[in-house]
Amino acid sequence: MLNLTNTLTRKKELFTPRDPSRVTMYVCGITPQEAPHLGHGRGYVVTDILFRLLRHTYGENSVVYVRNYTDVDDKIIEKAVQIGTTPEAVANDNIAIFQQCMNDLNILTPTHEPRITTSMPEIIAFVQTLLDKKIAYTTPEGDVYYDLQKLPACGCGYHYGQLSSKKPEDLIMGSRVEPNLSKRNAGDFALWKAAKPDEISWATPWGRGRPGWHIECSAMSLATIGPQMDIHGGGEDLQFPHHENELAQNIGAFSELYTDAENGFAKLWFHWAFITVNGTKMSKSLGNFTYLDHAIAAHGAAAIRYWLLQTHYRKPVDYSEDALKAAAKPAKRLMAALKEPAAGAPAPAFQEKFLSMLNDDLNTAKALAALNTALSANELANVQWGAKLLGFKA
Ligand SMILES: [Zn+2]
């Protein structure tokens, strides 16, 4: 029985899917303006463990996992201008590097990997729904905003700011990100941005432009999973504004479906912590990042997976070359054990203990320690069974 921390309730909860024959999970993907860094590796290794555990529990064909690509945004357009190419080329190049890294790290491919550029009809239809319901409004400039005053009351009990635990004044602070005199309320956020000259844009009934950031995930999850899902995940920095706004969008469109807390947009919200460098978040904007493909080339994919799994997903992992080098040794030992022929079957008691660790809010650190104990005892069948669940491949 999987117990997972739900960001919405701030509690560790027993996870029960809406339909055990179709367990659904949507995790926000990358914005490919750059090659991925180690922080991306962490998020998708953690999600890979959850995906593997769900597949183990409910069956390989009973889990739908969706991870999107934000393949158009300000930074991608900026980068394309900078290096004299198209936004499409920038996105495709970086998606190719990302996919190679995912492959190297033995991260299972999601069931669906939608992109903005191939989901435009669904995105436009979602904005139209919110306009029709008068929850969204157009401005004279041709933008479309979500009117936070019109957020419908929901049987799910949601209030704006609940997911990110923000107070009303903090939510308004967030509005500095999108200053616009035509907004009705300071906290209103863009669903659609009017086209700028020479910028990539799409035609809609309310004018040309491109989507705001948050609407894509509401539209893509609706298209691939439906209006209700089991698990919605992402990095902890996405709680606000991205996930808060996504939730507001879905409640705007589907409040009548969301009859109670058990039947909202997502049953459970799952967020992982950052990689830090000397205590500061590793990020593109701070320039303190290490490219994921460089780290894989330098240390090996198994060492990176091993290093990441030593820390619980809700705690930051502090990066250093020494820490990666230290992980390379036991990772190498483990990989050697995976190549050896194992006699016999994994012991039921070992499987039970190992699964109970992962089912306890994905305690990969404990599971890794159990694997090492089995390795020291030369219990190869146990080691190989457990390593597979943790995504190690010989
Ligand atoms: Zn998203």
The residues near 182 (Cβ < 8 Å, ≥ 6 apart) are 139, 140, 141, 143, 145
Smallest CA-to-CA distance from 269 within 217, 316, 304 is with 217
What CA–CA distance (Å, rounded) separates 130 from 326?
Answer: 52
Smallest CA-to-CA distance from 98 within 293, 317, 375 is with 293
Span from the CA of 211 to the centroid of ligand 1 (angstroms): 13
Residues with CB in 5 Å of ion ligand 1 = 28, 217
- For 74, the token pair is 């300000």
Span from the CA of 30 to the centroid of ligand 1 (angstroms): 9
Q: What is the DSSP letter of 174?
A: G
Taking only the tens of pLDDT, the chain with its 394 residues reads 999 999 999 999 999 999 999 999 999 999 999 999 999 999 999 999 999 999 999 999 999 999 999 999 999 999 999 999 999 999 999 999 999 999 999 999 999 999 999 999 999 999 999 999 999 999 999 999 999 999 999 999 999 999 999 876 777 665 556 667 889 988 899 999 999 998 999 999 999 999 999 999 999 999 999 999 999 999 999 999 999 999 999 999 999 999 998 899 999 999 999 999 988 888 878 888 899 999 999 999 999 999 999 999 999 999 999 999 999 999 999 999 999 998 889 999 999 999 999 999 999 999 999 999 999 999 999 999 999 999 999 8
Span from the CA of 257 to the centroid of ligand 1 (angstroms): 21
- H or E element in which residue 329 lies: helix 321-339
Span from the CA of 236 to the centroid of ligand 1 (angstroms): 12
Span from the CA of 227 to the centroid of ligand 1 (angstroms): 15
Span from the CA of 129 to the centroid of ligand 1 (angstroms): 19
Span from the CA of 216 to the centroid of ligand 1 (angstroms): 7
What CA–CA distance (Å, rounded) separates 90 from 109?
Answer: 22
Span from the CA of 231 to the centroid of ligand 1 (angstroms): 13
Span from the CA of 111 to the centroid of ligand 1 (angstroms): 16
What pLDDT score was predicted for residue 47? 98
The residues near 147 (Cβ < 8 Å, ≥ 6 apart) are 134, 135, 136, 137, 184, 185, 188
Span from the CA of 37 to the centroid of ligand 1 (angstroms): 18
Q: CB atoms < 10 A from the CB of 88, how many?
A: 14
Span from the CA of 74 to the centroid of ligand 1 (angstroms): 16
Span from the CA of 304 to the centroid of ligand 1 (angstroms): 25
Span from the CA of 385 to the centroid of ligand 1 (angstroms): 33
Span from the CA of 214 to the centroid of ligand 1 (angstroms): 6
Span from the CA of 238 to the centroid of ligand 1 (angstroms): 8
What CA–CA distance (Å, rounded) separates 223 from 369?
Answer: 40
Span from the CA of 256 to the centroid of ligand 1 (angstroms): 23
Span from the CA of 233 to the centroid of ligand 1 (angstroms): 9
Place of tokens 């367990």: 23
What CA–CA distance (Å, rounded) separates 341 from 380?
Answer: 8
Smallest CA-to-CA distance from 95 within 111, 76, 122, 108 is with 76
What pLDDT score was predicted for residue 42? 97
- For 108, the token pair is 């299972």
Span from the CA of 36 to the centroid of ligand 1 (angstroms): 17
Between β-strands 275-277 and 136-138, what pairing exists: parallel, antiparallel or unpaired? unpaired
Span from the CA of 207 to the centroid of ligand 1 (angstroms): 24
Contact yes or no for 69/91 (Cβ under 8 A): yes
What CA–CA distance (Å, rounded) separates 373 from 357?
Answer: 14
The residue ranges of DSSP E strands in 2-86, in sequence order, are: 3-6, 11-14, 23-27, 63-67
What pLDDT score was predicted for residue 279? 84
Span from the CA of 222 to the centroid of ligand 1 (angstroms): 12
Q: Cis before residue 241, ω within 30 degrees of 0? A: yes
Span from the CA of 119 to the centroid of ligand 1 (angstroms): 14
Span from the CA of 274 to the centroid of ligand 1 (angstroms): 17
What pLDDT score was predicted for residue 175? 54
What CA–CA distance (Å, rounded) separates 135 from 149?
Answer: 8
Q: At what angle do helices 301-309 and 292-299 cross, to 10 degrees?
A: 110
Span from the CA of 195 to the centroid of ligand 1 (angstroms): 22
Span from the CA of 29 to the centroid of ligand 1 (angstroms): 7
Residue 363 class from Cβ within 10 Å (0-12 exposed, 13-18 middle, 19+ buried)?
A: middle
Span from the CA of 31 to the centroid of ligand 1 (angstroms): 10
What CA–CA distance (Å, rounded) separates 330 from 300?
Answer: 12
Span from the CA of 135 to the centroid of ligand 1 (angstroms): 20
What pLDDT score was predicted for residue 343? 80
Span from the CA of 28 to the centroid of ligand 1 (angstroms): 4
